[in-house]
Amino acid sequence: MKRPKLMEADSNGNITNFFDLLSEEIIFSILDFIDRNPLDRKSFSLVCKSFYSIESKHRRALKPLHQKHLHRLLIRYPHVSHIDLSLCPRVDDGSLTVISNSCKDSLRSIDLSRSRFFSCNGLMSLALNCKNLVGIDLSNAKELRDAAAATVAEAKNLERLWLARCKLISDMGVGCIAVGCRKLKLISLKWCLGVTDLGVGLIAVKCKEIRTLDLSFLPITNECLPSILKLQYLEDLILEGCFSINDDSLAAIKHGCKSLKNLDMSSCHNVSHVGLSSLISGTEDLRQLNLAYGSLVTLDLANSLKELSTLQTLKLDGCMVTCAGLKAIGNWCISLKELSLSKCLGVTDEGLSYVVTKHTELKKLDITCCRKITDVAITCVTNSCSNLTSLRMESCTLVPREAFGLIGQRCQLLEELDMTDNEIDDEGLKSISRCSNLSILKLGICLNISDEGLALIGMYCSQLTELDLYRSAGITDLGILSIACGCRDLQSINISYCNDITDSSLISLSKCPSLTTFESRGCPLLTSLGLAAIAVGCKQLNKLDIKKCHDIDDAAMLPLAHFCQNLRQINLSYTSVTDVGLLSLACLSCLQSLTILHLKGLTLNGLAAALPTFRGLRKVKLHANFKSLLSCPSFRNLGVHGCVFEWRDKEFQAELDPKCWKLQVEDIIQ
């Protein structure tokens, strides 16, 4: 087909660019549609000078790879309102000063959750110069103290603040924030172990507009709860792991929070139905309740929740469940949309069958590791919940292979299906292939499936974006070819320990340009030829795991370095890559995580020469034999830039046959 002409000469010989006839607003709308892929935006900006200028004006979010590019990028993009520095491990006060002076009032949010080395001086520059700043993420800033919190309090218009794992901040710092940031609507204090009832109480009293409050794992008691529950607009309250909250403290609460929509009480081991009843009393619009890893799910607990007329999501993961409790949940007058029973002991055919026959509008059901259920429960699930979009049933090992055929016959709206470690066979896959909306399919450790069943998935499930075939030993190149031909939008695939996979599979998968995650550890027949094909065809690749692919060597590293510029995580352990191959990867400016254990061709001198050239590294896993390198100045310099070294001292491990491996796991469980 002929390409349409973008430019045309008139009768006088003047050249007209048709895009010049479009307003800037229309071109902005076009750019909105190509906003997902940064490579597409880059291609657009390189068309001509006017496109370059328009793309600069249009961009509102920035995610630089290194702090040294900040000044140049902020000149290029003068209208940025959100800056994400999560890829920059080292962000100092100078960088924050550059941002505050360049962006000023246009900056509305900044993410520093993965950055280090800044102090209260840099934060003060942001607070004073960026008057419209409404969001700051300071999670994981373990060095920040109360002085930094007091600085943040100068950002008077702040609405969203994340302080997760800021363990040195105390009640004093939080108190400053409460007094200074009266407009806060969201604050996360998760794992801020220095914050007690006093600090949380100040937030509740001073910040009346709070909508979301995350107090996970804080050493708080009942003292601050009355103030919290008086918050007029509170919608999300997260109390995960607040071990000091118990029934006795909750019993004193007279009224719950009317506006509450989401309550997370997971891992609150000292709260039973008695305390929970007090906490939720008076709530009028509670939609999500998380009681995972908490107390026993009994008849009393279920009855205490039955008045929640708007509840849509109930999560009981890891709880001990009684049959009477499940049946009582089934008798609620409401109809749940999501039920999670992952790793719940006590879930039986009788209890699960009763629940699903009552809650027929379920969209999501998680019964992972419910090892007592059989085909009886699956029959009830598929009969009653035909509108399921997500079904997770990993390791339901008593379900016979015949039962899986019912899933595809009756639940054809499924978008996510986890069949890991089950007895499903090709007939089951044939049935599941009727689920044409399927985008996530996990078939790890499914030893009864083969290429024949996988071919049907490739033929009829064209929207598949994620496929997990971990240790599914019956899959060969033919099955992968079917997936690659039928599922062109595939983004993630795991073929680890599929021993019969060869380079042919990788050449087939190279036709899937959207592939971002590729895991093939323990595939002994793969070579550099196949990986080079992946590199050339899958330029958006950002995660690569080729551990124990012994025949992959330096020849594959150069194509990776040249074509996969978005690669952020790579595992080369037990391959045949040497110093030369490692050095060739140094140009990957996005690379953050590198695992290089048991590389026979890797020497002390080679490693010393290669690693310092990786400027963006955040984490490196090395064998303990290389620890002497820490004395090298260039390695100390990596640490200064925020790179963390993790040392491993385990011996070379031989691989087990997948069936033998599964038998060993079953022995451990029993």
Q: Is the pLDDT score of 51 beyond 90? A: no
How sure is the predictor about 466, in pLDDT bands with cuts at 50, 70 and 90? very high
Give me the mean pLDDT over the 616-633 stretch: 80
Angle between helices 349-358 and 375-384 (to 10 degrees): 0
Give me the mean pLDDT over the 537-543 stretch: 95
Give me the mean pLDDT over the 332-358 stretch: 95
Least reliable range by pLDDT among 1-5, 49-53, 579-583: 1-5
Give me the mean pLDDT over the 320-341 stretch: 94
Separation of alpha carbons 501 and 168, rounded Å: 51
What is the pLDDT, as a whole number, of residue 668?
46
Q: Is the pLDDT score of 607 beyond 50? A: yes
Coil, strand or helix at 187: strand
Separation of alpha carbons 611 and 499, rounded Å: 32
- Which phi and psi (to 5°) does residue 570 adopt? -145, 140
Helices (H), ranges, 221-268: 225-229, 247-251
Q: Is the pLDDT score of 119 beyond 70? A: yes
Are 576 and 549 in contact by the 8 Å Cβ rule? The answer is no
Residue 313 pairs in a beta bridge with 288, 338
Separation of alpha carbons 397 and 423, rounded Å: 7
Residue from 423, 356, 425 nearest 391 by CA: 356
pLDDT per residue as tens digits for the range 153-208? 999 999 999 999 999 999 999 999 999 999 999 999 999 999 999 999 999 999 99
Q: Which residue has the higher pLDDT, 43 or 105?
A: 105
Contacts of 34 (CB under 8 A, 6+ apart): 40, 41, 44
Q: In the chain, pLDDT over 70 holds for what percent of residues?
A: 91
Residue 134: both structure tokens together: 């409404």
What is the pLDDT, as a whole number, of residue 492?
98
What is the pLDDT, as a whole number, of residue 345?
94
Residue from 266, 149, 160, 277 nearest 217 by CA: 266
Q: Is the pLDDT score of 9 beyond 80? A: no
Q: Is the pLDDT score of 534 beyond 60? A: yes
Q: Is the pLDDT score of 6 beyond 80? A: no
Separation of alpha carbons 241 and 243, rounded Å: 5
What is the pLDDT, as a whole number, of residue 360?
96
Q: In the chain, pLDDT over 90 holds for what percent of residues?
A: 72
Which residue carries 């003068």 as its tokens? 78
Q: How many CB atoms lie within 10 A of CB 8?
A: 10
What is the pLDDT, as a whole number, of residue 670?
45
Q: Is the pLDDT score of 639 beyond 70? A: no
| Amino acid in the structure at residue 175 | G
How sure is the predictor about 90, in pLDDT bands with cuts at 50, 70 and 90? confident
What is the pLDDT, as a whole number, of residue 17?
63
Residue 628 per-residue DSSP state: G
pTM of the model: 0.90
Angle between helices 49-58 and 38-45 (to 10 degrees): 140
What is the pLDDT, as a whole number, of residue 278?
86
Are 115 and 85 in contact by the 8 Å Cβ rule? The answer is yes
Give me the mean pLDDT over the 567-591 stretch: 94
Angle between helices 93-103 and 120-129 (to 10 degrees): 0
Residue from 188, 128, 115, 118 nearest 148 by CA: 118
How sure is the predictor about 83, in pLDDT bands with cuts at 50, 70 and 90? very high
Residue from 594, 513, 514, 515 nearest 557 by CA: 594
What is the pLDDT, as a whole number, of residue 216?
98
What is the pLDDT, as a whole number, of residue 3?
44
What is the pLDDT, as a whole number, of residue 19?
67
**In angstroms, how far is CA 544 from the centroid of its own chain?**
16
What is the pLDDT, as a whole number, of residue 14?
58
What is the pLDDT, as a whole number, of residue 659?
54
Q: In what helix (H) or strand (E) does residue 205 lie, and over which residues does it extend? A: helix 197-206
pLDDT per residue as tens digits for the range 132-154? 999 999 999 999 999 999 999 99
Contacts of 93 (CB under 8 A, 6+ apart): 118, 119, 121, 122, 125
How sure is the predictor about 314, in pLDDT bands with cuts at 50, 70 and 90? very high
Bridging pattern class, strands 338-340 and 313-315: parallel
- Which phi and psi (to 5°) does residue 17 adopt? -95, 115
Q: Is the pLDDT score of 2 beyond 50? A: no
Residue 156: both structure tokens together: 């008077």
Separation of alpha carbons 102 and 74, rounded Å: 7
Are 642 and 116 in contact by the 8 Å Cβ rule? The answer is yes
Q: How many CB atoms lie within 10 A of CB 166?
A: 27
Q: Is the pLDDT score of 13 beyond 60? A: no
Give me the mean pLDDT over the 417-425 stretch: 97
Give me the mean pLDDT over the 591-608 stretch: 90
Residue from 402, 448, 456 nearest 421 by CA: 448
Give me the mean pLDDT over the 391-414 stretch: 96
Residue from 579, 503, 583, 588 nearest 542 by CA: 588
Give me the mean pLDDT over the 388-410 stretch: 96
State how far the alpha carbon of 282 is from the alpha carbons of 185, 276, 279, in Å: 22, 12, 8
Separation of alpha carbons 638 and 484, rounded Å: 40
How sure is the predictor about 644, in pLDDT bands with cuts at 50, 70 and 90? confident
Q: Which residue has the higher pLDDT, 231 or 13?
A: 231
Separation of alpha carbons 115 and 318, rounded Å: 34
Q: How many residues does the chain have?
A: 670
Q: How many helices and strands, by DSSP H and E, does the chain display? A: 27, 26
Q: Is the pLDDT score of 7 beyond 60? A: no
Least reliable range by pLDDT among 132-141, 507-516, 638-647: 638-647
Give me the mean pLDDT over the 75-86 stretch: 94
* Average pLDDT score, the chain: 90
How sure is the predictor about 567, in pLDDT bands with cuts at 50, 70 and 90? very high
What is the pLDDT, as a whole number, of residue 36?
66
pLDDT per residue as tens digits for the range 441-464? 999 999 999 999 999 999 999 999
Q: Is the pLDDT score of 497 beyond 60? A: yes
Separation of alpha carbons 641 and 298, rounded Å: 53
